[in-house]
Chain A
């Protein structure tokens, strides 16, 4: 395994409490020395990181890789490459595939597919995600599952959810709850607001999410089980989690980039790329989510990467499946809309993308401390780009960011000591002849034989 020297970057590792211009050596897939001016002659690759940020590889605990069952939209292999392109070195894959991940053999399948980044399977809470019968949680854990979730829907039966939490506590893994009461959400496709009224789209009230967040907080308190609330999107949910944490309930939560950067007014375009579940919310909700990110109520930013084929999405708004791809825009949207807009400082933003989510699932990731897995995300904070469809590595293109400008991109991604994505070697779509110059100008990335 190669030795890599990352030279002269701003090394940011909130876990160790480092934020300084330092060199970093990667050796045998692990982080080696991190200090000023390392002179190393025996390295195979030197990454000149002058002017760049050297952060732990990003951890995205909410992605849909669509395999098995919907390989047209994404595969584990393509999704992992997209992750690497976005600076993400660890993902947790949701089980709402076809068939769902509810048996040990499917957990092993997901965990062992060849992938450029670490892929951790999340297993279903109930068989077939039907909300009727618990999965064999201990066997699923032993096969590699890191959490349980019926993501895509709530476990509607409160009694069963209580048992699921109780049982998961024994198994020692968190339960991730997709909070949506279907009796309140109905067939809705847009946040209940002036926007849904204007657009004439069937509304989903904030209460559809908040009722379930409240229920699951109460059940977590009852059982003492570890509850993680997926993709919270409303001011009410943020407040419920804030109070629960203050009360000592064992709960964590995540939000997604689109819930702190886009509002429900987007639906007025009827562009199906903004059809997502939960729906984009109001400006007041966006402000509350931002406040929750800043004060520690929200533990992680996750992409909810949800690839859909062009054919599936190129339909009427309410006929389109919900979801947007997000692995590759996770970092730039966070940097553009939280750091540049001074909602968070860089350290807090990096925490929310690394140690925060790693902590939620207890994953050994999200730090650059010596001896840790050498998962590194090198960021050009000044790089700006108007997102084009061809820029994406994911098999799908359902992104609301197409045509919009973002700033702050991963330029080099290292996973377990291997460079798994680097701007300079990307073929096609990306600036073409300009690429080398760009690498020199921005990435200053030199590869020695």
Chain B
């Protein structure tokens, strides 16, 4: 198995082998979730802190469930109840967490690079659960997992990501992951939602939804935040929907077996029509289920690296004593 990293800060730089390792591991864990007793003792004695400095429901619940399925001890920390509101710095918060002998930290933060900052300051393994508009690696991994379940090997498969790429950490992680897997990636959305030089990541950019989705194996639709029309990025949500909304009519012109995905939460009727979201091509709820298995896989793989470090330390100490 190919996994030697102690943190998962992003998918940038991850190779195909590493991603396949996570997906294969997740396949094993997904089988556990189908059992009557959905719990294994894999992470018994491991303490995990879930630090959510930004509101999150599904990601936080998904991680928490993954941790509990693996028998880890978990503590939760969210910005609304924390000392952050009292003016404590991230560094001090981190040091306090560390003083509690936490092994792993799952972190969501509104600042890009906040998990990298944390990784520099504490010894625990860090999992990025979304940092600003940078990355959301576990979301991308669960996307890749779901895609693989439906279309097999992603090499050469045509994947279209639609929406607000500029403000999307999911899009960035998806592009890194898909490119590493050898997929052909197209990003579709208005010009105002395309980050500078995004093509360099390996994707092509289009502003024509129908053209881009013709022949696509997978269409992944990003959430459009309602406040974007106030920032001058969009004339109106109505205009966005007219150009880029994924409607049943448009899906009918796509491949018959196209897979429709969305990281959630959905703005029904804006980026995605309700009948498509709930329709037979949609795998949106499967993504949620798979998210738990994928996060179990990530937690397991990172904990194994920590455990092997500790074993080496112990062996080293033993040698010194001899």
Interface residues of A (CB under 8 A from B): 192-194, 196-203, 270, 311, 314-319
Residues of B within 8 Å of A317, CB to CB, are 111-113, 117
Report the nearest A residue to B199, measured CB to CB: A194
The total number of A-B Cβ pairs within 8 Å is 64
- CB B166 to nearest CB in A, in angstroms, measures 9
**Which 5 pairs, one residue from A and one from B, show the smallest C-beta to C-beta distance?**
A200-B134, A270-B113, A316-B111, A194-B197, A200-B112
Would B169 and A200 count as touching, CB distance under 8 A?
yes
Would B112 and A318 count as touching, CB distance under 8 A?
yes
Would A197 and B131 count as touching, CB distance under 8 A?
no
Instruction: Given contacts A196-B195, A197-B201, A200-B169, list 7 more A-B pairs with CB under 8 A.
Output: A193-B197, A197-B172, A197-B198, A199-B134, A200-B132, A318-B132, A319-B111
Would B111 and A318 count as touching, CB distance under 8 A?
yes
A198 to B198, CA, bound (A): 8
A233 to B148, CA, bound (A): 46
Would B196 and A193 count as touching, CB distance under 8 A?
yes
Does B27 reach chain A (CB closer than 8 Å)? no
Would B195 and A203 count as touching, CB distance under 8 A?
yes
Would B112 and A199 count as touching, CB distance under 8 A?
yes
Query: Could you tell me which residues of chain B, from 50 to 108, have a CB within 8 Å of some CB in chain A?
Result: 89-91
- CB B200 to nearest CB in A, in angstroms, measures 5
Does B133 reach chain A (CB closer than 8 Å)? yes
Interface residues of B (CB under 8 A from A): 12, 89-91, 109, 111-114, 116-117, 131-135, 169, 172, 195-198, 200-201
- CB B190 to nearest CB in A, in angstroms, measures 16
Residues of B within 8 Å of A316, CB to CB, are 90, 109, 111, 113-114, 117
Residues of A within 8 Å of B109, CB to CB, are 316
- CB A194 to nearest CB in B, in angstroms, measures 4
Residues of A within 8 Å of B169, CB to CB, are 200
A201 to B89, CA, bound (A): 20
Report the nearest A residue to B89, measured CB to CB: A315
A311 to B88, CA, bound (A): 11
A270 to B119, CA, bound (A): 12
- Given A314-B91, A318-B112, the answer on whether A198 and B201 have CB atoms closer than 8 Å is yes
A319 to B112, CA, bound (A): 10
Would A200 and B89 count as touching, CB distance under 8 A?
no
- CB B301 to nearest CB in A, in angstroms, measures 24
Report the nearest B residue to A270, measured CB to CB: B113
Would A199 and B113 count as touching, CB distance under 8 A?
yes
A446 to B134, CA, bound (A): 56
Would B135 and A200 count as touching, CB distance under 8 A?
yes
Would A200 and B172 count as touching, CB distance under 8 A?
yes
- CB B145 to nearest CB in A, in angstroms, measures 23
A433 to B172, CA, bound (A): 52
Residues of A within 8 Å of B91, CB to CB, are 314-315
- Enumerate 30 A-B pairs (CB-CB under 8 Å) in ascending A order: A193-B197, A194-B200, A196-B195, A196-B196, A197-B172, A197-B195, A197-B196, A197-B200, A197-B201, A198-B172, A198-B201, A199-B113, A200-B112, A200-B132, A200-B135, A200-B169, A200-B172, A201-B112, A201-B134, A270-B113, A314-B89, A314-B91, A315-B117, A316-B113, A316-B114, A317-B111, A317-B113, A317-B117, A318-B113, A319-B111
Q: Which of A198, A201, A311 has the most CB of B within 10 A?
A: A198
Report the nearest A residue to B113, measured CB to CB: A270
Residues of B within 8 Å of A197, CB to CB, are 172, 195-198, 200-201
